Amino acid sequence: MIRELLFGFLLIHSSLAKHLHVHPGNNKPTRRTRLQAITGPGPGPGKKWLTLHGREPLVIAQGGFPGLFPDSSGAGYAAAIAMGVIGTLKYCNLQLTKDNLGVCLPNVKLDNCTNAATRFPKHQRRYSVNGRDIDGWFPLDFTIDEIMKEIRLIQNIYSRASVFDFVYPLLQPDSVFGMEPKGHLWLNVQNDAFWSSHQLNVIRYIDESKQYFVADYISSPEIGFLQAMAASKTFDRIKTKLVFRFLTVVEVEPTYKETYGALLKKLAMIKTFASGIFVPKNYVWPIGKDGYLQPATTLVADAHREGLEVYVAGFASDTFSSYNYSYDPEVEYLQFIDNSQFSADGVVTEFPGSASNAIACLAQSPKPTKKVVDALIISHNGASIDYPGCTDLAYKKAINDGADIIDCNVQMTKDGVAFCLDSADLLGKTNAAMAFMDRSTSVPEIQPKNGVFTFDVTWTEIKSVKPLIQNPFQSGGLLRNPKSKNAGTFLKVPEFLELAKKNASTGILIGIQNAAYLASKKGLDILQSVNEALKNAKLNPKQQILIQSDDTSILEKFKNSNPTYQRVLLFSKPISDAPKPVTDNIKKYADAVNVVKKSIMPESKIYITNGATKIVEQMHAANISVYVSGFSTETLSMQLDFYSDPYIELVSFIAEGIDGVITDNPKTASAFLRSPCVDPNSKAAFVFQPIKPGDYLAQVEPTVLPPASTPIPPLRVTDVVDPPLPPVNAAARKEADSDKSGGGSESGQRRMAVDVVATMLLLIVVFFLMGC
């Protein structure tokens, strides 16, 4: 059965070679022919590590791949083997049954990781575990036959996918060990004292199981167990290493009755019975209360000095760690294994694919100037994951991080100044809510909700407010770089172009929307402002210039006046099908399209990809490039089958043949596209592995699936072609100028009144707090 699970999982990846080719009829070159040669060593051999013995850090797959599958499931272990580097260790947290046989489970209790409570409602018990009374269902109250026949695994972290619950049986260590021709197993014994108090014997179980498996590593937080294991006549130090596991610094080790924090000072004593230590991440890189890294401790160096290897635990790509990593999980691994001071000897992770990517593909990588795959990296509001979007700091970081194109969505102020901002609404992007509370209006032509719009305030007023970093996943608890939440300044379009001009290798994307409204209702000519700025900038002829709009009439204007610019038609909502009459019409106006990720890989209601569309094939057949927007590194920005890994997501979209990614985090996209692991023809032992859209959904029991979403209808020509732009309304412009020169006093008085009220309310709150 285990081998069937492994075979089934590997089938998901088996069509990779075919999948990386674009479809027949596509006149774009295939991805394979678009790969460019790079110089320098590839991943793997030749790297020098600061580990104890100079070897590559180990990847220890904690419970398999619990980021998607239930912890300790056969599918999870199979996923770890398929997506991990060679030699990935399968981590089994050992629990014992009534008949002194072992099973792999994340917890000493069954009820939070299996369906034992519903299958055996009368088996609830209370036991003392490490001095604490715990209620629940425990393996020691069941025989191995009862567990294997009646109990199934469920996801033990409720924020993760539950679609694979009740499918997989529990596994014994020998089954996990036997999933590979040469088994690799890490056995963790968390509660030996508990088992011993109930006349169960872990050492006897391990000894009697030698004909079925031999663990490469055995870890435990109990010194007494490890000393007894080391003293056992049947223990083989050559085949198995013993590792002492540290719990939190305040918890007490049951043998010596000292805190684990105190035992940190006794590494020489630990070396007498163990070859390594197993520690939480904050033992190595502490994180302050503000969420930022503090200086590294000397633990790794101290342990290496005593001859102890150091294994670091607590890695999970779907949980927040530190703002320093910008939510890129691979960057966090590199912090522990690829810095100039030290390298951990291994990482214990719930996402072994990400750890493998970091070690094999990104650590100690040569930094070639050329990308391995010829796809554009286009920023979204600059490096907006690190700084407020569309500010000088966001754009400068995007350039430094390797963006090919930096973007400026042009907005117009009341006094006709063109500047860069994601949308015409200042709310959410600045602290304008208080400053311009009285300017909030409804403009249905722009958006359905009220807003404070740039065309209702002057440039001087906009400069008086602070930028605000956008947090698109704040509802999920994911904030972006709070220390810089108001950093940077907004740029006028000429200032943006001047910044790009200083970096001749960086192109620009100018986004234009709402031109018809601005011309007819506000008397503002956004096209003229953009054209004048571009003309005056005198950019390097080699710099790429992209003009983007959701309005074909705007793109047509630039086609006639500036044919060298690449025109990009924006589709801000998902599209599913573009028949030839539609693509023929798109080609009349645009050279490329910008579509959201769901247009390439639709999303099911359980947040797993639901196959792939033919949008890329259809656009390429009309010689239209495809850029895809919506990329970021927060786990909530990705569908579940990408394993919360931006590199797996990127390689999966590149495998579909897209021509560029539009991302909040250009640094991650740049590291990915410049890694030799992106080349499927590489002879290296490990490369980035894409998922095949829809394959995971096919593994889900149909009975647990919600009703399918209503299909998105195919695009029609009328969905694409827009009417001509209206002329600029001179009367509206004159009225705005009049308001600017003197007619705006009533508005100013209203704002002053609001400011007074707000100030009074603030003072009341302050006095109230002082009184408390």
Q: What is the full DSSP assignment across 466-522?
A: PB----TTGGGT----GGGTT-S-B-BHHHHHHHHHTSTT-EEEEE---HHHHHHHS
pLDDT at 45: 52
What is d(CA 710, CA 767) in angstroms, rounded to the nearest whole number? 54
- pLDDT-derived band at 352 (thresholds 50, 70, 90) equals very high
Which region among 10-14, 258-262, 563-567 has the lowest average model confidence (pLDDT)? Answer: 10-14
- pLDDT-derived band at 495 (thresholds 50, 70, 90) equals very high
pLDDT at 46: 62
pLDDT higher than threshold 60 for residue 751: no
- pLDDT-derived band at 47 (thresholds 50, 70, 90) equals confident
β 346-349/418-420 pair status: unpaired
Q: What is the pLDDT of residues 666-709, one digit of tens each?
A: 999 999 999 989 987 777 788 998 999 998 888 887 877 788 88
Mean pLDDT of 753-765: 44
pLDDT higher than threshold 60 for residue 766: no
Mean pLDDT of 274-290: 97
* Spacing of C-alpha 181 from chain mean position: 33
- pLDDT-derived band at 533 (thresholds 50, 70, 90) equals very high
Average pLDDT, the chain: 89
pLDDT higher than threshold 80 for residue 354: yes
Q: Please give the angle made by the CA atoms of 408, 412 and 417, to the nearest 5 degrees.
A: 95
Q: pTM for the whole thing?
A: 0.90
Which among 176, 224, 185, 171 has a CA at the least distance from the CA of 202?
224
pLDDT at 767: 43
Q: How far is CA 278 from CA 240, 242, 638, in A?
A: 15, 10, 31
Radius of gyration in angstroms for the set of CA atoms belonging to the chain, rounded to a whole number = 30
- pLDDT-derived band at 763 (thresholds 50, 70, 90) equals very low
Mean pLDDT of 304-313: 98
pLDDT at 596: 97
Q: Measured in Å, how far apart are the chain's first and last C-alpha atoms?
A: 65
Residues 6+ apart with CB under 8 A from 298: none
* Region at 240 (left for phi over 0; alpha for psi -120 to 50; beta for the rest): beta
36 versus 647: the higher-pLDDT residue is 647
pLDDT higher than threshold 60 for residue 755: no
What is d(CA 369, CA 347) in angstroms, rounded to the nearest whole number? 30
What is d(CA 635, CA 496) in angstroms, rounded to the nearest whole number? 31
What is d(CA 549, CA 534) in angstroms, rounded to the nearest whole number? 16
> Position 496: which residue type?
F
pLDDT higher than threshold 90 for residue 735: no
Helices and strands, number each (H, E), in the chain: 30, 20
What is d(CA 646, CA 61) in angstroms, rounded to the nearest whole number? 19
pLDDT at 28: 38
Residues 6+ apart with CB under 8 A from 528: none
Mean pLDDT of 383-390: 98
